[in-house]
Amino acid sequence: MSVNANEKLDALNSWDANWSGLRVLVAGLGLSGFSAADTLIELGAVVTVLDGRDDELNRQRGETLKIVGAHEVLLGAAHVAHLPQIDGQAPELVIASPGWNPRHPVIAEAAEAGIAVWSDIELAWRVQNRAGRTAPKWLVITGTNGKTTTVGMTEAILQAQGLKAIAVGNVGTPILDAVRDPVEYDVFAVELSSFQLHYTHSISPVASVVLNIAEDHVDWHDGFENYKAAKAKIYERTQVAAIFNAEEPVTISMVEDADVIEGCRAIGFTTNTPSISMVGVVEGLLVDRAYLDDRRNSAVELIALNEISEIVPRHTAANAAAASALTRAYGVDPEAVLKGLSGFDAGAHRIQAVARKNDVLWINDSKATNPHAADASLAAFTKVIWIAGGLSKGVDYHELIAKHAQRLSSVLLIGTDIQSLRSALAEKAPEVPVFDITAQSIADDGTAPSGTQVMTRAVRKAAELAVAGDTVLMAPAAASMDQFTSYAQRGNAFISAVGDLMDSDSSDQDSNNKQQ
């Protein structure tokens, strides 16, 4: 990209800048891509939209964008092999949806040509500045696990303070939709994935946090070091508080290496007793030793952990501490933290108690899509029948299995990409019985079972194995796309299967009572 092109993009730092005629390629027609394309069309840019999937949903979205003024919509695999031109010229800007990694031919060609690649987050940061409106402040959150819960807690606390706040980014409302909303928000609680951060270059949040770091998405980033580097970008240009996990030294080093705004503080969070300038836990209470004058000798009580939820595993306490640290950096009162966290509903699929019968607890944690998340789930229970497996994304399971082998009663494998998990179990937990439910469910004619069928059989097998005191934990430590459309569908399949099991048991009991 030429110097003039760079200067042109540098000048595009508000809604009221001259976006007219800018040639933009939007790569991806999911929620964020559609929102980015719609925004850029409204701004007067010449927008071409590209997606490798030519399905009904994308055709509908494409037709909508054509109606509002898209220059061209290109759908299908043939269109994503090369960087397309716009009116016979190269794009001046590419907006990359999260699924498009840097080695994708379109993105790689753009980078080689010196064309800027932005995320929808980068675009939102620029266009939120608009004459006659006050831009919202940003509190930004990333990490391998816990992002969605923490951003929801952050939103709840901010709203409890009476602020106009909304959770955006990698969760809920696309951020550009919130920017264009007639509501003038005070604060955005922004969940950022490593994919989005990779293509984000200039945001300057009030406060930022990396919740944790573990091996994940190494295929997308072409290595763990690149993944960590993308996460670390969240701290750049932070204004008030760069918040780190005091129990994970790598996040401390990220803060130390970040180029923050002068005066920005490093604030820690922990599930242990907090040191000065930390938020942490003392005798079941979440307390603040960071945002008060006499932090050397005193602390502010925020909330008792048992007021957050009936089950508060360690990672939930960590998420609450991080959300408290973020919102206190913005200036919310302790009372708002109490009100926001005590009324917070984490929603389905996150260590969700589904049933308890005959002293057997059934837990749905389908959101545990990698070993780090499953580690938190397994650590919350003593004696576990573990339903695990799925799309592994190239991660290693040996450390996870070694850590929790003693609490595993048996393991039921449900995925199609389970060789690495099976190998780790054989090496680190050889005494634990392992049942490959997917393999056992293949029909005589070789027909592969559906994910729902496999889950139903896993639940039934777990019921056969369970004894009083067991927890049946569905925390797959893998993505869901090998057998399900999403982790939510996988979780719902588990909930449904457990419900059917409970109903069946009740029917059997009723029948026995009648016979007696």
Domains belonging to the chain, first-starting first, are 21-118 (3.40.50.720), 133-342 (3.40.1190.10), 352-500 (3.90.190.20)
pLDDT, one tens digit per residue, over 452-479 is 999 999 999 999 999 999 999 999 999 9
Query: Is the pLDDT score of 2 beyond 70?
Result: no
Return the biggest CA–CA distance within the chain: 88
Percent of the chain exceeding pLDDT 90 equals 76
User: Any binding-site annotation on 148?
Assistant: yes
Q: Which of 374, 312, 303, 284 is nearest to 341 (CA)?
A: 303
Distances (CA, A) of 154 to 2, 324, 326: 41, 7, 7
Q: How confident is the model at residue 505 (pLDDT cuts 50, 70, 90)?
A: low
Q: Is 452 annotated as a binding residue?
A: no
Residue with tokens 């850590």: 403
Cβ–Cβ under 8 Å, residues 325 and 337: no
On whether the CB atoms of residues 211 and 145 are closer than 8 A, the answer is: yes
Q: How far is CA 172 from CA 32, 152, 175, 177, 413, in A?
A: 11, 10, 9, 10, 31
Computed over every residue of the chain, the mean pLDDT equals 91
- The residue type of 211 is L
CA distance 293 to 348: 39
- Burial label for 200, CB within 10 Å (0-12, 13-18, 19+), is buried
239-266 confidence digits (pLDDT tens): 999 999 999 999 999 999 999 999 999 9
Which pLDDT score, from 0 to 100, does residue 23 have?
97
CA distances to 2, 13, 203 from 6, rounded to whole Å, are 6, 12, 18
pTM equals 0.77
**Which pLDDT score, from 0 to 100, does residue 338 have?**
97
Instruction: Provide φ and ψ at 281, rounded to 5°.
Output: -120, 130
Given a contact cutoff of 8 angstroms between Cβ atoms, the answer to whether 511 and 503 are in contact is no
146 is in an annotated binding site: yes
Whole-Å CA distances, 498 to 292, 362, 472: 48, 8, 10
487-515 and 451-465 helices, crossing angle to 10°: 50
Q: Is a pLDDT exceeding 60 seen at residue 508?
A: no
DSSP letter (8 states) at residue 9: H
Q: Is the pLDDT of residue 3 over 50?
A: no
- Rounded to an integer, the average pLDDT of 389-411 is 93
Looking at residue 447, what is its pLDDT?
82
What is the average per-residue pLDDT within 405-427? 94
Confidence tier at 376 by pLDDT (50, 70, 90): confident
Residue 431, pLDDT above cutoff 70: yes
Backbone phi and psi for residue 243, each to the nearest 5 degrees, phi listed first:
-100, 130
Instruction: Give the number of residues written for the chain.
Output: 516
Per-residue pLDDT at 217: 59
Do the beta carbons of residue 151 and residue 229 sit within 8 Å?
no
Asked whether residue 144 is marked as a ligand-binding residue, the answer is: yes
CA angle 494, 309, 279 (to 5 degrees): 125
Lowest mean pLDDT across 10-19, 217-226, 304-313, 353-362: 217-226
Residue range 487-495: mean pLDDT, rounded = 94
Q: What is the pLDDT of residues 332-355, one digit of tens each?
A: 999 999 999 998 877 677 788 888
Question: Which of 197, 203, 206, 205 is closest to 144 using CA atoms?
Answer: 197
Q: Report d(CA 277, CA 293) in Å as an integer.
A: 10
Supply the pLDDT for residue 145: 83
Please give the Cα distance from 89 to 34 (Å, whole number). 23
Q: 118 with 26: CB under 8 angstroms?
A: no
Picking from 25, 66, 63, the residue whose alpha carbon sits closest to that of residue 47 is 25
| Burial label, 174 (beta-carbon count in 10 A; 0-12, 13-18, 19+) | buried
Note the pLDDT of residue 173.
Answer: 87
Residue 218 pLDDT class (50, 70, 90 cuts): low
Tokens of 335: 């009372």
Give the chain's radius of gyration (CA, Å).
24
C-alpha distance from residue 57 to each of 37, 53, 75, 477, 489 (Å): 16, 9, 11, 30, 19
* 149 assigned ligand-binding residue: yes
Question: Which parts of 58-192 are beta strand (E)?
Answer: 72-75, 93-96, 116-118, 137-142, 165-169, 187-191
Residue 84: burial class (beta carbons within 10 Å; 0-12, 13-18, 19+): middle
Kindly report the CA angle at 139 between 306 and 475, in degrees rounded to 5?
50
- How far is Cα 97 from Cα 26, in angstroms, rounded to an integer? 8
Amino acid at 513: N
Query: Which pLDDT score is estimated for 245?
Result: 97
- Do 108 and 115 meet the contact criterion of CB atoms below 8 Å apart? no
What is the average pLDDT across 132-144?
95
Question: Per-residue pLDDT for 221 more than 70?
Answer: no
pLDDT of res. 220: 64
Could you give the CA distance from residue 291 to residue 334 in angstroms, rounded to a whole number? 10
Q: What is the DSSP letter of 466?
A: -
- Consecutive H or E run containing 508: helix 487-515
Helix/strand number for the chain, H first, E second: 19, 20
- Residue 405 DSSP class: G
